[in-house]
Amino acid sequence: MNDHPPQPAIILVRPQLGENIGTVARAMLNFGLTDLRLVNPRDGWPNPDAGPAAAGADLVLAQTQVFATLAEAAHDCGQLLATTVRRRDIVKPVLDPAEAASQVRASTVRTAYIFGAERSGLDTDDVAMAHAIVTVPINPEFPSLNLAQAVILMAYEWSKGSTLASPAIKPIDAPAPQQDVDALVQAFDAALEPAGYFHPPHRNAVTRRSLRMLLTKPGWSAKEISMMRGVLTALLNPRQR
């Protein structure tokens, strides 16, 4: 079993209705997924509306975890997939649900499928953290996809291959967990702030997002991230020789 990638996590960012959290849990369990994580749910957690809507998927709700930020929710995930309906200006690889599922199964690290709030979807900063975007090829004239529907399509595609005994190919350098990427981004951020890199202030948010995307794109392994941090440390603290 160690040859198989861990089951993907489903992360809902700022979900609004407890009922939708329940129907998501049900959709997940329909295809054998149980790892549900909430980022800052609007009405708190637990939510009395979730249980009835889960229609028996109580075990998913019982182990649902709540986090303050997406970075924390994805701390142990090495592959972050942002699900969107709309096109984005952000330049990231774009997958359909079947391609995403292949990529999840081919990976040895845990994947997070990330879903935005019911009305607004994921914001640009959330998408910036992801390694790729998963887009459901939906009717462009009616792109209003219910949250649980979006989840079930991902879960369904994932489950298609999950019972196949695929030969495990162990990559030498699996992508590092999100917490390592995050720490690297923060280390660069902390070094660049006093250097005046984020000037002028009104460009701050955009520049920070670009920096995050730049450092997320490589999919560096834990070892590679560690090397990059060594490079940064050397630049900041030159030794005299």
Residue type for position 132: A
Read off the tokens for 54.
Answer: 């889960």
Instruction: For its own copies, give the closer residue by CB, 17 or 73.
Output: 17
Instruction: For its own copies, give the closer residue by CB, 69 or 149.
Output: 149
Q: Which of these ranges, 13-21, 61-69, 121-129, 149-157, lies near its own copies under the rule CB under 8 A? A: 149-157
Residue 53 CB neighbour total at 10 angstroms:
20
- Tell me which of 191, 209, 222, 229 binds its own copies, using CB under 8 A: 191
How far lies 73's CA from each of 36, 67, 140, in Å?
10, 6, 31
| 201 sits near its own copies (criterion: CB under 8 A) | no
How far lies 21's CA from each of 13, 51, 200, 201, 227, in Å?
11, 9, 41, 38, 40
Q: Which of these ranges, 14-22, 75-83, 109-117, 159-167, lies near its own copies under the rule CB under 8 A? A: 159-167
Instruction: For its own copies, give the closer residue by CB, 68 or 172.
Output: 172
Residues numbered 58-97 forming contacts with its own copies, rule: CB under 8 A? 87, 91-94, 96
CB of 112 to its own copies, least distance (A): 20
| 23 sits near its own copies (criterion: CB under 8 A) | yes
| 172 sits near its own copies (criterion: CB under 8 A) | yes
- Tell me which of 7, 16, 30, 108 binds its own copies, using CB under 8 A: 30
- Tell me which of 78, 135, 158, 184 binds its own copies, using CB under 8 A: 135
Residues numbered 37-56 forming contacts with its own copies, rule: CB under 8 A? 55-56
CB of 68 to its own copies, least distance (A): 28
Residue type for position 229: R
| 192 sits near its own copies (criterion: CB under 8 A) | yes
Indicate the burial class of 196 (C-beta count within 10 angstroms; 0-12, 13-18, 19 or more).
exposed
# of chain residues touching its own copies (CB under 8 A): 73
Instruction: For its own copies, give the closer residue by CB, 68 or 139.
Output: 139
Helix (H, G, I), strand (E, B) or coil at 135: strand
- Tell me which of 62, 205, 206, 227 binds its own copies, using CB under 8 A: 227
Helix (H, G, I), strand (E, B) or coil at 67: strand
DSSP secondary structure of 69-120:
SHHHHTTT-SEEEEEESS--SS---EE-HHHHHHHHHH-SSPEEEEE-BTTT
| 113 sits near its own copies (criterion: CB under 8 A) | no
Residue 221 CB neighbour total at 10 angstroms:
18
